[in-house]
Structure 1
Amino acid sequence: MEAAARFTQENNHHAAADKLEQAENLLAQSGFDGHAASVARRRADALINAGHLDEAASLLTEAFWQRADAGDVDGARAICHRLGEALRAEASEHPDTDAAGTGRALRLFAVMDCARNLLAHPFPEPKLPALLQGDPNGLEISLARLAVLASETATLVDRQTAWITEHAEHLTKLADAVRDTDELLAVRLRLTVADATGQWTDLVNAAYRRRHRRILCALILARHARHLVITEGSKEAAEHWKEAVEQACLDGHNADAGEWVHAQRLLHQRTVPMALSATDDLDLANALLARPGRSKLLDAGDLLTKGIGALHDKNLRVAVLALRQQVRLSAASGRWFDEHVARRRLAEVPREAREFDRAGDHAVTVGETAAVKHWLVERPPRRPSACCVAASPTASFAPCSPTRPSASPP
């Protein structure tokens, strides 16, 4: 690191990048992944200064998706801005010629910018980015990450399924293309298609036959359980969560297992009031969460705390962005209890903005029909909406249909 700093002061950016790469590798081999990621971003700056934009763009892309996967909107925006600045500087230095060696960087930036818009917009439009419809040309992983972000946002957060259904075949092919490189990414992409189309048979059979790693089989079963609860209010979801807990424990993912036990507890409370197993389930969940083990598949960090704090301060934009990402990551990992808490808070944001239809959609999705009835008293008189129907005295536990009408994005 000291040698890299010295080379940087001497404007020898090639040598600085080499030294930083050595430091990054040593940190990664020693288990300091966070420190290695920080050094990688410094190496990207050195490569940009040395004129190697394609290599720098690859490093910044990894850093960007680390932030995006964790729901860190501000961090993802900063990284995207850094690459955009570098490309604009290169274009200004070569205004009359195509910047050589930046073709891959430009394409990676285009993918990154699409993802940034999805993260930073409170109500992104549910459409498939044009880049996904062409030849990936070596960008399969980046495009698959973008597809997962777009489809999870649409299906799990906003429950908009039409465009995913329309492009289901293309999304499935993209999942096949990255299956050998990133199996978790491929499974997440297939899960969003199953959520949108309702075609779960192949995925569930593969999970029970252990055709994936144990934790991925557990994830499939947990997501199917969530789907059953959301769309049907089915008590059969408990069996899927139970199996998911067993497989996660066998694979050392105690934290995910504990969260899925909490999901079972919430389902029992909704379907079997005063269930005798509630206390035992709580003890089991707490014991699993306290045990050492592998980190969660999709960790939302402090997004819920950030969202609640912003909501308390009436900073609705920050609140809605943080809570939407909390909902997405909770739903994507089948953590029904976490999603329930986050979506109830998310419903308060449009309620504060007097957008009662949006608020009602979120509340009804997690079965909070009583809250919607209370909010209907606050809203000005108007024609009944889908939420009003769902909040009627005859409404079942299951929320609105996935094909429900929704408010157009502003």
Structure 2
Amino acid sequence: MQLYGVRGQSQYGLDVVGTAPDGSRHGIQGKRYRTFTKLDLTKAVNKFISKRGNIPFPIARLVVAAGCLAERTEITHELYRLQDLHTDVQIELWHQRTISDKLRNRRDIVVELFSEAVADAFCLPAPLHVVAAPSPDRVTLADALLYGPAEITGAAQHLAGADNLSSTNPLSAVAELEQAAKLLAEGGFTAHATVVLDRRAVLLTQADEHDKAARLQDSAFWSALEDGRHDDAETHARNLKKNANTAVSKAFSDIAAAAINIVRHPLGALPPQLEQLRTDSTELSFAQLLILAAEDAAIDPSNTWRQDNLAALITQANLIEGSPSDGAVLACKLRLEVASLTGDWIGLLGKARKHQVPRDQAMLIYARNAMYHAERGESEQAEASWADAMTQACLNGQNGAAAEYVAARTFIRVRFRGPIAQNNDHQLVRSLRAQSPASTSAERFEEKAMRALLDDKPHVAVPLLRALHRAAYSAGAWVQLDRARRLLANVYGSAGESLLAVKLHVLGAQSKKAASVAKEDPNTYLDVREFLSSPAYWVAGTAYRVLAAEADLIPDNDVGFVTDSALSVLDDAAANKLQDGIYDSSAWRNAITALAALAKRLPDEHALRILEHSRPWVPREPGRHRRTDDDHVRLCAGIAFAHPVHRADAIDQLLGLLEANDSAVSRKTEHAMADLVQQHPEMVRERLARMTADGNPYAARLLLLITGQPTEEQLIAAAAAGERLRKPPTSTAHSLGIGTGAAGQALLARVLPSDERRELARHQLAHAAFPFEPGENRSEYYDAARILAHDLDDVDDLFDNAMLHAHNSTPSRGDLLNNLGNHPLGMFRMTGFTVDTRAHALWLAALLARTDEQKQEVRALGYLLIGSTENADWYIAHAFQALDLADADHDLAFLASQPHWALRSLAALIWTRSADAPANIGSLLTNDADPRVRCTFAEGASSSDNPAAPNLREILLTDPCHSVRQGARR
């Protein structure tokens, strides 16, 4: 919208012209009259119509605007006549009332032309329709998008001048480029300014100023690395190498090449010594290389590069302390690395507290000091230093950094005090981050890395994640550092770098993931003993969790060290000297888990010490559970089996846990004691009898294992169990029950007469066929029938019924109900329940097979069911084992090549019992990837008549797994 013409010019009946959003042209003819008549309207329109041919653009809409009222009927009639006469143009009449109505909703115009007071009285009480004038920088940016930054900022003429001078006077061209870069930077286009400055190096090279060109390329190289532009950094490194014509330029090139090797290598390629790269002309660049290497070495806690180069770090910091430019900043970073290694923070903290360094350096000193204490479990010192870092960050206007330090302080509080320690810190973090919208280099690294992982490019993601780790470590941002460790550990784990993955998980207190990585490779010992002495409980605790997961792989010479360290944790806890947490990474809980996993390998004196610690865990109030119950049972069972001198004490504690008569710990104890009871009946008989008399069903079932002729009390208990086994299932469409207890009742009822047991077994199969019984319950009924009928004669009807169940793949209604709401994205999910129970029924059928035809029928169906579910092969292996293994010799090669370890273990049994089994299959099983298969083979090879067995046994005696070596020694 603009005025059309100036005073004295012909305006062709228009005062104002403008362009509508649709591109059409509109015109306004203003009439400042006291009165406005029909004739005035006619003259105004005719003037425009007669002159519009002189206007070089079409006018689609004509508005006649009168400053007075124009509401008389003749004026309205004339307006309609003119509109009908000139249909090619839209004619409108605005007068005082219509203009006022339009202005009532445009308070901004009224305020501009009149005043706030007039607007208050005149305008409607509605939200302002204000289009605020943009700030100058936004106008510049918008224009730059249309015309280019160089044109808007005035840099274009300098760039053109540089082009004209580049061939004749390159040094003058450099000056023009510097002026252009200055204008671009002042206009906010720093990226464009950087590109312009990069051109200077080319011109300086043309002018034979190789050293100056190298310094420019070196500066651009480190700027690109810090910003995460690794490709740009490599370009600068190549340019440095291409133009390395002098000693100085070659020194810069060598430093850049070393830095690129560090940055690009997925595991960090750190040369042992870097001193040969240092020259007097490259002090600052060499300092940056040392800082990069030190920060990269910090990723792997076992890397000793920083310790090996401590003297170089100190020397370089001293050399550049007083250097201009970035010398003081780089010296501070070098001294931070030295302090992190030596623990000597007095000098740095003194400078920060006395305000002898700028705020940004003081902030770094406090933050790194806080992280140093946090990594050592020193909560109070860490919180205090992070509070100082927060203060410095806020005073320096770095609210994003302050948010990171608040988050880190919360993180350490939660580690020691639990989630309640968060208070309102998360709200403070959000507020600070809202005041710092600009992203940091660490956030950019993380974003690029996540994008690479999303695109399934781990080789691209790892260097970026290492850069994220370096940035977070350098800034003392502990939460970001923890995130970088977890991301790196996940990628390293999936790439087969198990040891580094486990170490990063240990530092990040990811105990479950660390143990999972250790279990994924059951033949590689991941040595994390160095972390057991960490003062941070979560590091030591996670290390114990890893060692528990790989207990079978710990070398014999290391067992004593691990168990002694774990016992020292228990000693500290007993003396109230242990600093520990409540999470999965608890040092105390995981030390017990490690001792339980190593129970059969404990030195005798260590077995005695742990039994002394565990004795107070036995007595308990009814219904009370302890977090140590599972490990306590495993620990005592292992000691009872492996340490005869301490067997009585261990069994005494197990019986104490059994005496609790609690469904959780007592059931676990019953399962763990079954073999012990049968091996040492006189040590347990009297106490089991007393518990049985007190109504303890767990003791009653164990007592039956060592009872020849059942007592009257046992017969009464068996009859009662039989009655419970006869009761029909209670699951319906409205109420689904999980768990039947049928197997436990069958153990009590197995002393009943044969006919009664046969009848009870029929009941179990009938119960399994109920429509609303889920697979979890069916499997228990099959187990109960197996316990009751496995040794009976005349069971053809039971066999036929079991085979019907083994053939039936249709899920019951109970299975379908169990799967309701099991969408992987749902908030409510039920997992871990058995649905397909055909293999369970097949095992029962195998135990009931009495004729060759029946056994062949079981074997044929078993081969069809292999791989039908995740756990089906385990039951199929037990079914085949219940048949005559001699008949399976011809299936040896097939079973030895199956994916599931249970079937390969069955092949190992078949091989060791056959004198004619091929040696190549034996060799294959000896080198099986699963130690359970090798252990089965080792136990059988000791007594095998196969001529190849002795040589294969010798191989197994050097196996990395203790259980395999132990089996081969028998």
The reply to whether TM is greater than 0.5 is yes
What is aligned with 1:152? 295
Give the conservation status (yes or no) of the 8 Å contact 2:170–2:204: yes
CA gap of 1:136–1:128, structure 2 versus 1, over 3 A, is farther
SS at match of 1:360: helix
The 3-state SS of whatever aligns with 1:275 is helix
The aligned residue for residue 303 of structure 1 is 445
Q: Distance in 1 between matches of 2:190 and 2:586?
A: 42
2:208 to 51, 64, 70: 51
Cα 1:311/1:398, change in 2 over 3 Å: farther
Shift in Å at residue 161 of structure 1?
5.6
Equivalent position of 2:368 in the other structure:
223
Q: Distance in 2 between matches of 1:398 and 1:357?
A: 21
Aligned pair partner of 2:491 in 349, 364, 371:
349
Query: Residue 856 of structure 2 corresponds to which residue in structure 1?
Result: none
Q: Which has the higher contact order (CA 8 A, sep 6+)?
A: 1
Question: Structure 1 residue 35: deviation in Å?
Answer: 2.9
| Equivalent residue in structure 1 for 2:528, among 362, 366, 386 | 386
Distance 1:301 1:80, change over 3 A: farther
Aligned to 1:3: 161
Rate the CA distance shift 1:398–1:47 in 2: closer, same or farther, 3 A: farther
Structural mapping, 1:193-342, within 5 Å? 193-232=338-377, 234-276=379-421, 278-292=422-436, 299-342=441-484
Greater Cα offset, 185-194 or 374-383? 374-383
Show structure 1 runs of 5+ residues with no match: 88-98, 400-410
Maintained 8 Å contact 1:235/1:271: no
Q: 1:141 aligns with which of 277, 284, 293?
A: 284
One-letter identity of the residue aligned with 1:3: G
Shift of 1:68: 1.6
Deviation per residue, 1:268-292 (Å, 9 max, x gap) = 222221225x251111112112225
Shift of residue 204, structure 1, vs aligned partner? 2.7
Aligned to 2:100: none
Q: Residue 60 and residue 384 in structure 1: after superposition, are their counterparts in 2 closer, same or farther (change >3 A)?
A: closer
Cα deviation per residue 1:29-77 (whole Å; 9 max; x = unaligned)? 5665433222111121222334332221111111100012233322211
Structure 2: distance between partners of 1:175 and 1:201: 16
Once the two structures are TM-superposed, the CA of residue 201 in structure 1 deviates from its matched residue by 3.0
* Deviation sequence 1:212-253 (CA, Å, 0-9, x none): 222312211111111222233644311111111012212222
CA contact 1:344–1:363 (8 Å) conserved in 2: yes
Read off the aligned partner of 1:322 and give its amino acid letter.
Answer: L
Question: More displaced, 212-221 or 388-397?
Answer: 388-397
* Cα deviation digits, residues 384-408 of structure 1 (max 9, x gap): 5117964324696699xxxxxxxxx
Residue segments in structure 2 that go unaligned for 5+ positions in a row: 1-158, 533-541, 546-565, 570-579, 588-970
CA gap of 1:301–1:77, structure 2 versus 1, over 3 A, is farther
Amino acid at match of 2:449: G
Distance 1:370 1:74 in 2: 37
* 2:261 maps to which of 117, 120, 134: 117
The whole-number CA distance in structure 2 between the counterparts of 1:191 and 1:42 is: 35
Count of residue correspondences: 380
Classify the secondary structure of the residue corresponding to 2:357. coil
Deviations 1:139-191 (A, max 9, x none): 2111111111111111x222356332333233223112223332221111111
Residues 316 and 398 of structure 1, relative CA distance in 2, 3 Å threshold: farther
Please state whether the residue corresponding to 2:312 is helix, strand or coil.
helix
The SS at the match of 2:441 is coil
Counterparts of 1:65-84 in structure 2, within 5 Å, are 65-84=222-241
- Give me the identity figure in percent: 30
Partner of 2:177: 20
Against the structure 1 CA distance between its residues 233 and 379, is the aligned structure 2 distance closer, same or farther, given a 3 Å change threshold?
A: farther
Paired residues of 2:266 and 2:462 also in contact (CA < 8 A): yes
Aligned partner of residue 114 in structure 1, secondary structure? helix
Distance 1:368 1:209, change over 3 A: farther
Partners of 1:24 and 1:38 in 2: how far apart?
A: 9
Given that residues 13 and 49 in structure 1 are in contact (C-alpha distance below 8 angstroms), is that contact kept between their aligned partners in structure 2? yes
The amino acid across from 2:339 in the alignment is A
Q: CA deviation at 1:12?
A: 5.2
Q: Which residue of 1 aligns with 2:311?
A: 169
Aligned CA-pair RMSD = 2.7
Q: 1:264, CA displacement in angstroms?
A: 1.3
Q: Evaluate the alpha carbon distance shift between residue 258 and residue 161 of structure 1 in structure 2; reply closer, same or farther with a 3 A threshold.
A: same
For 2:236 and 2:302, locate their aligned partners in 1 and report how far apart those are by CA, in whole Å.
29
Name the structure 2 match of 1:61. Answer: 218
Alpha-carbon distance in structure 1 between the residues aligned to 2:380 and 2:292: 29
Report deviation, 1:26.
3.7
Instruction: Give, in whole Å, the separation in 1 of the partners of 2:178 and 2:411.
Output: 48
Change (3 A) 1:83 1:301: farther
Q: Are 2:301 and 2:503, in contact at CA under 8 Å, matched by a contact in 1?
A: no
TM-score by length of 1: 0.84
Deviation at residue 325 of structure 1 after TM alignment: 0.4
Report the Cα offset of residue 114 of structure 1. 1.2
How much has 1:210 moved relative to structure 2?
2.8
